Amino acid sequence: NAGVTQTPKFQVLKTGQSMTLQCAQDMNHNSMYWYRQDPGMGLRLIYYSASEGTTDKGEVPNGYNVSRLNKREFSLRLESAAPSQTSVYFCASTGQGLRTDTQYFGPGTRLTVL
Amino acid sequence: AQSVAQPEDQVNVAEGNPLTVKCTYSVSGNPYLFWYVQYPNRGLQFLLKYITGDNLVKGSYGFEAEFNKSQTSFHLKKPSALVSDSALYFCAVRDGGGSSNTGKLIFGQGTTLQVKP
């Protein structure tokens, strides 16, 4: 069981470039989430997918898009990267019992936008 | 709206001494509360959660947390700190409490725990 995996681990982009962050989980979880972590601000939810086929905006969705490709995979796309999107990005998933289940996190992607 | 506050940016404690990392919350409905730990350059790891039942919750690595409804607090504790406990700790609350059907979490800003030998 790999849990939640993310690729790439590190990425440097120039302003205006695009990229897709990949996330996959092998725990048969229904719900998946994308967060960004910035110093002193905790984790902020970008987008989430409560179940396969659905996606919804979180607290900070501007500049991002997501795709729930199937039950396992949930990708995050930056269409035109900006320096303000320099951050560490975490993917997480949770199981059937949404009210009580724990979220499990991937190792993160460190993104720098120059 | 749901919120979580961690009033201390950093907590310093000597190895062997008890530690407390504070968390207060504001929710409508029943609070579902979580503690996570993050070691340098790693993802978040689940420590423990309070859903219902006993106010003292035991978790991984010898940590425990005390739920106090009247003070709306959920402080993380350990009787004897280890140098290896040094990390960033996050408190979180389920968005929407017991009525949530999305599983979203709201995180505090994090508290750095420094345990000195």
Kindly report, residue by residue over B56-89, the tens digit of the pLDDT.
999 999 999 999 999 999 999 999 999 999 999 9
What one-letter code names the amino acid at B73?
Answer: S
B115 with B83: CB under 8 angstroms?
A: yes
B3 contacts in chain A (CB < 8 Å):
none
Choose between B56 and B98: higher pLDDT: B56
Structure tokens at A87: 């951050």
What is the reported pLDDT for B100? 55
pLDDT in tens, B1-31: 788 999 999 999 999 999 999 999 998 888 8
Pick the residue of A4, A30, A102, A104 with the most B CBs within 10 A to test the interface with B by mutation. Answer: A102
Return the residue matching tokens 């978040």.
Answer: B44
For B92-105, what is the mean pLDDT?
Answer: 71
Give the number of other CB atoms < 10 A from CB of residue A109.
22
Helix or strand run (H / E) with residue A4: strand A4-7
Is there a contact between B104 and A42 if contact means CB atoms under 8 Å apart? no
Residue closest to B95 by CA, chosen among B7, B23, B4: B4
Is there a contact between A105 and B45 if contact means CB atoms under 8 Å apart? yes
